[in-house]
Amino acid sequence: MEHFELSVKRFDQFAAEYAQRFMDMNAYSDSIGLFCHSIGNAQPKILELACGPGNVTRLLKLRFPDSRIVAIDLAPQMIEIAQKLLPEVDFRVMDVRDISEIPEQFDAIMCSFCLPFLSKTDTEKLIADCADRLVSGGVLYISTMEGNEERAGYETTSFSGNSEIYFNYHQQQNLEKAFSDGGFEIVRLKLQDYTEPDGNFTTDMIFIAKKR
């Protein structure tokens, strides 16, 4: 089984535990708020990638009650939880690596902590695919963990007990190049420390970019 497929299986298996652990997104509220402010449209069409149990989706819908949101995740249990939370949102079980198959374009794309489960190659393709799915001037939010690619491997988490999940790490310069190659201008980059359950720190990178 590939790393990505195993990660999806784990998220599906521990969807309820994940929802309980991460429904509160206060640590990222300022960045999500800036993303929403950058959209500049009271009724935007938003695509959310790897939406999980709808924790970020809920914030987007509160900010834009008249928005149309398409939110995708490959873990069916995550989608089931999200649908119960926000029945008015168009939730779909779908692989983020296949968004080129979505025919419509969006004013904004939210991609909160999906990249830790994508390789460097898949990440570069995803950013290029996001550019194709955005209208001119559309806004893209991407967050992930900073680190050398060699750091990738299986790790325990705060929600999956002893079941490990494979995490990828990404470097700032590589993502900046992918944004540039995709025709994006970076509006904001925030580096934010996150305390792991074992007391160690990781650095989150939060990008907000606009399609030129």
Beta strand residue intervals within the chain, DSSP E:
45-49, 68-73, 90-93, 106-112, 134-145, 153-155, 165-167, 184-195, 201-211
Rounded percentage of the chain residues whose pLDDT exceeds 70? 98
Q: What is the CATH number of the domain that holds 175?
A: 3.40.50.150
Number of domains in the chain: 1
Q: Give me the residue label for tokens 């680190």.
A: 147
Cα radius of gyration rounded to whole Å, the chain: 16
pLDDT in tens, 93-136: 999 999 999 999 999 999 999 999 999 999 999 999 999 999 99
pLDDT in tens, 34-46: 999 999 899 999 9
The answer to whether residues 132 and 100 touch, using CB atoms and an 8 Å cutoff, is: yes
**Cα(11)–Cα(171) distance, rounded to whole angstroms?**
24
Q: 200 falls in which pLDDT band (50, 70, 90)?
A: confident
Amino acid symbol at 76: P
Q: Residue 52's domain spans which residues?
A: 3-211
Q: Is the pTM of this model over 0.85?
A: yes
Task: Calculate the dihedral angle through the C-alpha atoms of 92, 98, 99, 102, rounding to the nearest 10 degrees.
Answer: -70
